Amino acid sequence: MIAELQTAISKVPSRKARLKGLTRVETVKLKVERAALLFRGAPVGIAISAVNAGLTAAIAWSEVNRNVLLAWTGAILLLSCIRAGFWLRFRAAGASGRNMSRFANMHLVFMALNGALWGALAPIFAAHGLIGHAFLPFVIAGMTAASIASAGASWRAVVAFNIPALAPLAAVYTVAADSDGLAIAGIVALYGAATIFLAMAMQRMVDRSILLHTRNSTLFSALQRQVDEAHLAETRFRGLVESSTDVTIIFSPEGKVIYASPSVEKALGAKPEELIGKTTKEVVHPDDIPHFRAVGEKSLSKLGEVMTMPHVCMKGSEGGAYAALGGRLTNMLYVPGVEGFVFSGGPLNQEAGRNMHAAE
């Protein structure tokens, strides 16, 4: 159990988590979780594309051929509706690993198609002499940034949108713009490279987060099993002890009684709850305390060490008489559900009792 916990803790990734050498299970988990993140972000990307298409049509309505503009806007909205329909279909089918993987593959295709449609905006503006319009680079940059926000869990999805969206813009600036066209095209290319780098960095962060969550879940499961096993061990221990006629008293490392079996009432004349919280000095006869402590110190050397105690006098209440007991003291400090020194024994017979000190 302890080894299992140590193994789980050792697998928790550090700040610079290594993503190489993953197990097959971890690799599949990463792919499925990334696909699930894409699925959750898809509605945002669909809505942004549809809304921005409407805004673009409104702004360019008086400057671009309306038939061309309506055809472009209609294509964007149609693709958005198709994407929304597929998203609803997969949502109804359930978020299984296979469904999420299939969705991720289709999502890449839809991102590429959407990027191509937004990339077509550059030659449309150029054909109408609007290559210098400030709205064109602004809206394309906004859409590429939105792709990172909605599909950042997969850098491939971001690339699938950004390359077809930015490449025509760079090409148009190179061919149709004035003397500054090449410089602007270079800036567009650098911006595209930056978005790809950012998408890859974001995916690495997502992967590390997924791994951390997965391995923390493993650690939590191991801890939960340990708690359950400790509870079961405590239940069994109490069941065995409370059905026994032997006196069983558990002392904490500080020397306080933390458990007393029902049999102490007959042996010591006090109910078990009356002993809880009493110290060794209050329970054990003063003449036996040095011996009692010596036995306890010897038992510290090894977990489960059993030290015999041929005789010891104990009492249950402050004004009660001491009873002569014999038994053993066991070190069970690190046993879940016990965590103390366990004295177990029974009353000595009258002949043995007469051989003990006068107070007994």
Q: pLDDT tens digits, residue range 31-52?
A: 888 888 888 889 999 999 999 9
- Pick the more confident residue, 82 or 263: 82
Cα-based torsion angle of the residue sequence 61, 62, 64, 68 in order, rounded to the nearest 10 degrees: 50
Report the distance separating Cα 131 and Cα 122, nearest Å: 7
What is the pTM for the complete model shown? 0.56
User: Which stretch of 14-28, 38-52, 266-280, 318-332 has the lowest confidence by average pLDDT?
Assistant: 14-28
Report the distance separating Cα 6 and Cα 250, nearest Å: 29
Residue 15: both structure tokens together: 């700040």
Strands in the chain per DSSP E: 247-251, 257-260, 306-314, 323-332, 340-347
- Nearest partner of 130 among 62, 51, 49, 55, judged by Cα: 62
Say yes or no to pLDDT of 17 above 50.
Answer: no
Tell me the pLDDT band of 8, cut-offs 50, 70 and 90: very low
Give the chain's domains with CATH numbers.
2-221 (no CATH), 245-354 (3.30.450.20)
- In the block, which residue shows the tokens 């054990």? 284
Helix (H, G, I), strand (E, B) or coil at 60: helix
Report the distance separating Cα 109 and Cα 117, nearest Å: 13
Q: What does the angle CA 295 – CA 300 – CA 303 come to, to the nearest 5 degrees?
A: 120
Our measurement of the distance from residue 335's CA atom to the centroid of its chain's CA atoms, rounded to an integer in Å, reads 28
Say yes or no to pLDDT of 351 above 60.
Answer: no
Tell me the pLDDT band of 129, cut-offs 50, 70 and 90: confident
Radius of gyration of the chain (CA): 38
Say yes or no to pLDDT of 297 above 80.
Answer: no
- Pick the more confident residue, 197 or 132: 197
Say yes or no to pLDDT of 83 above 90.
Answer: yes
Report the distance separating Cα 52 and Cα 76, nearest Å: 10
Helix (H, G, I), strand (E, B) or coil at 300: coil
CB 181 within 8 A of CB 173: yes
CB 338 within 8 A of CB 332: yes
